[in-house]
Amino acid sequence: MSTGDYLDVVFDSLRISALSEPEIVDDFSYNETRLASGETFIQTSSTPRFSKTYRCLTEDDVERDAIRLKRGKFADLVIDGITYSGCCIKPPIRFKYTRVPGRWEYDITFVQHTGTLPVPVADELPALIDGGSA
């Protein structure tokens, strides 16, 4: 396969061997609760959730291993030159070995974190008072 056969998808500087986008899903927040009174309480949002799934076929083991190293990492996802910040790989990823040595089929889903990322705070150590000695 040539690079022209693949879609233009790059995650954290790694070109993904995406052959197709098997489905387009419009997902948005929706919560339905049945109240004790028997009535229904619904919360919803018109803001779509970002989620892209791709069917892929690697050229070698290198891509599979590189993708596995990016699990749990937030990074830029670039699709057709458009950058989506704060994206990560949604589990699970299942690699299916093909009959061609080193080639793997897999589906990968990227989602975008749209909330505020927490800022880690270093543990504060208590101040030591030593009577002013140096």
Provide the CATH number for the domain around residue 24.
2.40.30.200
Tracing tokens 């994206």 back to the chain, one arrives at 87
Q: Is residue 133 part of a domain?
A: no
131: Cβ contacts below 8 Å, ≥ 6 apart: none
Give pLDDT, residue 118: 54
Q: Please report where in the chains the tokens 């419009």 appear, as a residue.
A: 26
**Is residue 134 a part of any domain in this protein?**
no
pTM exceeds cut of 0.75: no
Structural domain total, the chain: 1
C-alpha to C-alpha distance for 36 and 48, rounded to whole angstroms: 30
Q: pLDDT for 3-62, tens place per residue? A: 568 899 999 999 999 999 867 777 778 889 999 999 999 998 877 788 899 999 998 889
Domain coverage including residue 11:
7-112
Residue that the structure tokens 């290198």 belong to = 62
